[in-house]
Structure 1
């Protein structure tokens, strides 16, 4: 997704949810500062993804699936690690799963992609010091190894990353786009973004 395309969507999302773009920018700066010396170059993702069949795992996952590359998104990691011993190759997160499981998969070779937004600053401060390395992302302007690949929820952002870094094939596994309340509203946007990107 081109940045100019993403920013048009992002402004709409910010208005829809009442998000502060300035707070998103502040969160990205904090992630950069907290991650000083830990920030990976985005090309580590290309090594995991380019030319490969990629399965992106969503929160409704119930059974494991085989693929050259597995990308988990958000809390799907918790379910994934309960149903299979295979550690994902990449995990895309805004840190809601907590430090323990993130440390565990990182130690086993999973590349973490950590996203900063205005509502997860406290989690960034709490968890980032516990980690060794990660790719940093923002939904605002990218800078100094804090990247913006586009995408709103962990799930659609993970799928966009698969596309961005040259996946041969992308399969969504354990994705549902219906829920109540704010979560449901977020999933409407996630589905719209994935449709715009031609992933679904």
Structure 2
């Protein structure tokens, strides 16, 4: 399944003390000041289009997967999340990732698959960074009240997911800034 990727351990993930998690409505990629740059899902395409390589990609393999694969090939650590709705995408695309990979789940972790917490790519990115020891996270391009529309997305369901994401992120208090 992961024949071309290098599965890595937590301690091998290059991080700084502070991270910026970019969301699907990120307006710009300036003032990053040496912080870890994290693309949540579809923000990977925005970053790659702007000529910015994320350090980390957190994805459940939707959006423009080819950009996520390209970021992986250029060295981004990719956290690929498995859930009940994306098993076919994992079977189709996991083999294409060539960089360092961490496999995640919302279920019980084992010695290969990890569970850092989170529900959507964005809040999962926040949970992952904090679980790995980053002391603070800045969010850019997130709007929990007006989500970015994607083809085939039920906006009522998306709003419920974003409400959960906001609740999860809110539990971290001052460690996460909008």
- Please report how far the alpha carbon of residue 177 of structure 1 lies from its aligned counterpart in structure 2 after TM superposition: 0.2
Secondary structure (helix, strand or coil) at the match of 1:118 reads coil
- Please report how far the alpha carbon of residue 98 of structure 1 lies from its aligned counterpart in structure 2 after TM superposition: 4.2
1:58 is aligned to 23
1:171 is aligned to 138
For 2:64 and 2:91, the matched residues in 1 are separated by 12
- Please report how far the alpha carbon of residue 109 of structure 1 lies from its aligned counterpart in structure 2 after TM superposition: 1.3
How many residue pairs align between the two structures?
Answer: 163
Residues 97 and 44 of structure 1: is their aligned pair in 2 closer, same or farther, counting only changes over 3 Å? farther
Secondary structure (helix, strand or coil) at the match of 2:93 reads helix
> Is 2:72 the counterpart of 1:72?
no
CA RMSD of aligned residues (A): 1.7
Secondary structure (helix, strand or coil) at the match of 2:15 reads helix
In structure 2, runs of 5+ residues without a counterpart are: 148-154
Q: When the two structures are superposed, what TM-score results if normalisation uses the length of structure 1?
A: 0.75
Q: When the two structures are superposed, what TM-score results if normalisation uses the length of structure 2?
A: 0.84
Structure 1 ranges of 4+ moved more than 3 A: none
Query: In the TM superposition, what whole-angstrom CA distance separates every residue of 1:45-92 from its partner, at most 9, and x where no partner exists?
Result: 3x324xx2210101111211324210010111112222x322010000
1:188 is aligned to 163
Select the residue among 126, 135, 140 that pairs with 1:159: 126
1:112 is aligned to 78
Higher helix share: 1
Higher strand share: 2
